[in-house]
Amino acid sequence: MGKPIVLSIGNLNLDIYMKIGNLPGIDEAVDAFEAYVGGGGSAANFSVQIAKLGLSSRFMGSVGSDTVGGILVDELKTFGVDTRFIKRIGYEKTGTVAVLVGLDGSKRMIAYRGANMGLIPSDIDGAALDGVNHVHMATGRTEIIEAGLRRSRFIGATASIDGGTSLARKGIDVVSSLLKGIDVMFMNSVEASILSGVEDPIKAGFAIYGKVEPRELVITLGPKGALCISGDESKVVEAFRVTPIDTTGAGDVFAASYVSARLMGLGIVERLIFANAAASISVTRRGARSGPKLDEVLEFLSSIGYTEIADKLGGSITE
């Protein structure tokens, strides 16, 4: 059996990081302890992690015809991502995100979407979908989500969504109408609270699950781990204890690792453990593309006693 092909749809950005102790006030400047740049965009980060875990990764998005856009596309290629379906447009600059990283690894972001908005629903068609087993949409744009779901169902591929706060703020009725029956829905605890109006993540999850009815609703809980609701059951897996350096992109690493484990045949609890392990490794490194390769995750799991999962995945991906 060949490698599953995963298509990721959404943003590709240049991330500019500043590590700071405090946010500046009006007309105030603060010194940064560290500054660095790297590729970003939730869907692009997802595609990189898919490739790192040994699956065939394909990305669809839009960048400017500027130098930055070319550099970002070339970077994806170095990770082994199929970049044939990235649009280059001349009327907007490539998307850019300023990431303010706290000393505890937490982050705040300011985003300029720019050329990302050049992706339109009719782009999600044709050769981009050839052989695809799974479609992941990391976007809050309803027109892109609708097109992605429609095409994934047409070709018989499974689908997942990570719409962020922009999708959560559209309200439960809109989200339910849009995503009814999707295979996997990802969100963090803040987004779950916004969408449901309920603070407790498990209660929020069941409220969302009852309306949207995904096959699996996965809610990340930061340092508390992650939970999955499927059917009448909820499974909660605690996070691994690590010292975070930068949490940027950790949710994308988690989602890509969960989808990979799903395609590789692991059960829900095993997927949560595997994805938690990958995300835990990523937060100990800088940047949004810092997720681990498959052998690193397997070594980590084996070192803490999860040898059964490591044994299952050791030879699961073939050429």
Amino acid 319: pLDDT = 43
Confidence of residue 223 (pLDDT cuts 50, 70, 90): confident
Q: Which two tokens stand for residue 35?
A: 């500054």
Percent of the chain surpassing pLDDT 70: 98
**pLDDT tens digits, one per residue of 50-73:** 999 999 999 999 999 999 999 999
H/E stretch holding 203 reads helix 201-212
- 8 Å CB contact between 265 and 318: no
How many angstroms separate the CA atoms of 255 and 200, rounded?
21
Amino acid 106: pLDDT = 80
Check pLDDT > 60 for residue 318: no
Confidence of residue 101 (pLDDT cuts 50, 70, 90): confident
Amino acid 185: pLDDT = 98
- 8 Å CB contact between 279 and 251: yes
Residues 161-174: what's their mean pLDDT?
Answer: 95
Amino acid 2: pLDDT = 77
The correct CATH number of 5-162+240-313 out of 3.30.390.50, 3.40.50.300, 3.30.230.10, 3.40.1190.20 is: 3.40.1190.20
Could you give the 3-state DSSP secondary structure of residue 112?
strand
CA 26 vs CA 18, 254, 281: distances in Å? 18, 36, 36
Nearest to 295 by CA among 284, 287, 281: 281
R_g of the chain, CA atoms, integer Å:
19
DSSP state string for 81-97: -EEEEEEEESSSPPEEE
How many angstroms separate the CA atoms of 256 and 265, rounded?
14
Buried b (16+ CB within 10 A) or exposed e, 286-304: bbbbbbbebeebbebbeee
Higher pLDDT, 19 or 317: 19
Residues 109-122: what's their mean pLDDT?
Answer: 95
Check pLDDT > 80 for residue 105: no
Confidence of residue 315 (pLDDT cuts 50, 70, 90): low
**pLDDT tens digits, one per residue of 232-248:** 889 999 889 888 888 87
Amino acid 316: pLDDT = 57
Buried b (16+ CB within 10 A) or exposed e, 250-273: bbbbbbbbbbbbbbbebebebbbb
Residues 162-168: what's their mean pLDDT?
Answer: 95
